[in-house]
Amino acid sequence: MSEETQKPDLLDIGHHILEDLHIDKDEVLMMQASIVEDGAIDQEEAEMLFAINDAISEGGTKCPEYDQFFIEAITAFLLADDISEGVLDDMEWDWLRAMIGEDGDLDDLEIKLLAHIAKVSTSVPSDFYDYAQRFEEVEYEDEDESRMTFLANYLSGALKGKVRGDAAETRHLQE
């Protein structure tokens, strides 16, 4: 618990969630309050949210409010910084790829996160689209190859004019 307020902080709540593999609405509200009180979410807290997501997706339960909280908190961590506000810079992108790839699975909530970042960011690295598309190709390799998945379809529209760099494979997204 944080010494100043004696209220549980996000990390305390996260450890409890990892123990019982359940997230209820009250825990989401407490995590939100912790972030508001701190004024920001830091890397350790963001990594805790990914650990919770990975654990819950492997057999836990969550309330519906958690998904929106996760998306908003991680997006704020990545895009609401003083150095590159609104921009998913290369260091942030490296971190996000590591967090998503840690469990080797792109789950539904992570798909929603990538879609949200594409929507609200002002700029993303040139390989953002390709990364998401490659993950989906692995996820759906046994399905009809001609099918364009939700994420690839959404990103192709949401990223128009936001892609940095000159990667030939993403040129159509830079226009």
pLDDT in tens, 58-79: 899 999 999 999 999 999 999 9
**Three-state DSSP state, 8:** coil
State if pTM tops 0.75.
yes
Instruction: List pLDDT tens digits, range 106-116.
Output: 788 998 899 89
Instruction: State which residues form the domain around 69.
Output: 1-80
Same domain, residue pair 52 and 93 = no
Contact in structure between 149 and 136 (CB atoms under 8 Å): yes
Same domain, residue pair 123 and 157 = yes
Burial of 141 (0-12, 13-18, 19+ CB in 10 A): exposed
Residue at token pair 């701190």: 38
| Max CA separation in the chain (angstroms) | 56
Query: Which of 80, 104, 128 is a domain's end point?
Result: 80
Count of structural domains within the chain? 2
Same domain, residue pair 115 and 65 = no
Contact in structure between 93 and 130 (CB atoms under 8 Å): no
Query: Which of 80, 108, 136 is a domain's end point?
Result: 80
